[in-house]
Amino acid sequence: MQRKSPLWLTVVSMGFLGLWLMLASIPFLWTLWGSFKVEGDFFSKQDWQNAIYGIRTMVETGGLFTGGGYEGAWVKEEFWKATLNTGIMTLSVVAISLTLGTLGGYALSRSGFRYAFWILIIALVFRAMPHITLVSGYLLPFFELNLWGHLTTTIIVMVAINQPFTLWMLHSFFLNIPKDLDESAMVDGCTRFQAFRYVIIPVMWPGVITTGLFSFLLAYNDFALTGLLLTEENQTMVPKIAGFLGTTQEQGNVMYAVAAVVSATAPLFVLVLFFQRQIVSGLTAGAVKG
């Protein structure tokens, strides 16, 4: 049905899209490529093309590619510890937030009372607050109670900070599941919990997976909390990388940081690769329902 569009429009549109795709992808490809070079190439004083051809890398290491940055980051700077911490933290945060969030989101979507609306509005205000403003509330009590620095504390805090968002998202997913479904189960003699357990849980997984992805991203990408709430040995990847910047720039090991950055970005790429559809649907879930 669509009338054929004029040629100039197609050209302009494709040209613009091509430019955007380059802007979106080249920084990553560039850094990935450069992470296998030596610093003299990636930060070349003479010519930026050195980063592509690896002139200094040839001179210094004898090969076109070097794993020096990765070795330095993972072995010497013990980046594997940070990776392990990130793994523990993100998985726990996702699991706990989803458990609390599904229960709460379900209740909010099925309650007809006014206060459910107000809880959602308060959650929206909580969602809007910069996380770091809360950290200034945590630090002093945590120091006093000796809770500061542990991974467990950070996990619990992050679950709580995640709740407003998780509640909103799951609330809108549960609104999409027809009320008749659980209500007819209750007419048949189920209690609310049984209806939730046997009727809702089997059909809620698409929404839960999508919400889980965003909780994962929030925990994985956080710097405000992890940067201030963890001791050095409990650090996750992001504060560890921020820490590299201070130390490595003086020692001339910027390539450690570059390698660590690439290592930390790789899981996110895999995530988008497999869950692109869920991410897109999750971003729009809130929007379409206003």
Partner 1 sequence: MPHRTFISFIWPSALAMILFIALPIVSVGLQSFYVQHEQVIEVVENCTPFGCTESTAVNTEATAELRAAEPLGRFNGAGTYTNRNHLAFNEIAEAWNTADSMSAFFKQVLNLPFYKALAFTLAYTFVVTPLVIILGFMIALAVNRVPGVLKGPTIFFSLLPMIVTPLIGSLILFWMIDAKGVIGGTLQIIFEDPNLSLKASPTLTWITIMVYGVWHHAPFAFVVFYAGLQTVPQDTLESAMIDGANRWERTRHVVIPHLTPLVTFIALIQLMDNFRVFEPIISFNASASATSLSWIIYNDLRGSDGAMLFGSAAATSMLTIIGVCILLAPVILRTWRANRRAA
Least CB distance from residue 52 to partner 1, whole Å? Answer: 9
Nearest to 39, CA basis, from 73, 75, 66: 66
Nearer to partner 1, 184 or 265 (CB): 265
3-state helix/strand/coil string of the chain: CCCCCCHHHHHHHHHHHHHHHHHHHHHHHHHHHHCCCCHHHHCCCCCCCHHHHCHHHHHHHCCCCCCHHHHHHHHHCCHHHHHHHHHHHHHHHHHHHHHHHHHHHHHHHHCCCHHHHHHHHHHHHHHHCCHHHHHHHHHHHHHHCCCCECHHHHHHHHHHHHHHHHHHHHHHHHHHCCHHHHHHHHHCCCCHHHHHHHHHHHHCHHHHHHHHHHHHHHHHHCCHHHHHHECHHHCCHHHHHHHHHHHHHHHCCHHHHHHHHHHHHHHHHHHHHHHHHHHHHHHHHHHHCC
Nearer to partner 1, 175 or 268 (CB): 268
Binding to partner 1 by residue 225, rule CB under 8 A? no
Nearer to partner 1, 107 or 175 (CB): 107
Binders in 124-163 for partner 1, by CB under 8 A: 124-141, 143-144, 156-157, 159-161, 163
Least CB distance from residue 83 to partner 1, whole Å? Answer: 13
Least CB distance from residue 164 to partner 1, whole Å? Answer: 7
Size of the site for partner 1 (CB under 8 A): 104
Binding to partner 1 by residue 180, rule CB under 8 A? no
Least CB distance from residue 130 to partner 1, whole Å? Answer: 4
In the set 55, 200, 258, 259, which binds partner 1 (CB under 8 A)?
258
Binding to partner 1 by residue 33, rule CB under 8 A? no
Q: What's the one-letter identity of residue 261? A: V
Token duo for residue 43: 């930060």
In the set 58, 88, 147, 242, which binds partner 1 (CB under 8 A)?
242
Least CB distance from residue 89 to partner 1, whole Å? Answer: 14
Least CB distance from residue 17 to partner 1, whole Å? Answer: 4
In the set 47, 67, 80, 178, which binds partner 1 (CB under 8 A)?
47
CB neighbour list of residue 189: distance below 8 Å, 6 or more residues apart: none
In the set 31, 60, 87, 175, which binds partner 1 (CB under 8 A)?
31
Stretch that binds partner 1, among 18-26, 60-68, 73-81, 204-212 (CB under 8 A): 18-26
Binders in 102-121 for partner 1, by CB under 8 A: 103-104, 106-108, 110-114, 116-117, 119, 121
CB neighbour list of residue 73: distance below 8 Å, 6 or more residues apart: 79, 244, 256, 257, 259, 260, 263
Binding to partner 1 by residue 51, rule CB under 8 A? yes
Stretch that binds partner 1, among 61-69, 74-82, 204-212, 224-232 (CB under 8 A): 224-232
Binding to partner 1 by residue 266, rule CB under 8 A? no
Binding to partner 1 by residue 190, rule CB under 8 A? no
